[in-house]
Amino acid sequence: MTKAPLALALILLATTSCAQGEMIDGIAYGEKATLSGIWFTNFENSRFLECSDSCEGDSLSEWASIACADKSCAMLDQPARRIMGAKSQEPPEGAFRIRFIGRRGLAPHKSRYLGDGEKDVWIDQLLEIRRAD
């Protein structure tokens, strides 16, 4: 009789820890949090140039690759174009300080291409964006 409550407790414990993180596009991310960092973008790359609290525990200059809930990261591109005064739909260029709701990748990976970060950051919702000074 003691095995059933123990098994149930283990299932509940496992469910709780899984609910905090999430697997998205094959990458394990931690729980949702309000994060910030400096996002760098140009026609070729889009990444965190300075992770700040988005890459907690790492060097501030550690790059992180980004992925967005809207898949194309238009939630970042459109306001960045407005800030830069861009008239076209070309990718924006520059460095932007952003605050967002998102998740940190749980494990580093090897760079997949030149300029790729070794960390991953998932962006669910952009809260604030401004030009980095």
pLDDT tens, position by position, for the chain (133 residues)? 444 443 333 333 333 344 478 999 999 999 999 998 899 888 777 887 755 555 555 544 467 888 899 988 999 999 999 999 988 888 899 999 999 999 989 988 787 777 677 888 999 999 999 999 7
The pLDDT of residue 51: 54
Instruction: Please provide the size of the chain in residues.
Output: 133
* Of 58, 57, 47, 61, nearest in space to 112 by CA: 47
The pLDDT of residue 2: 44
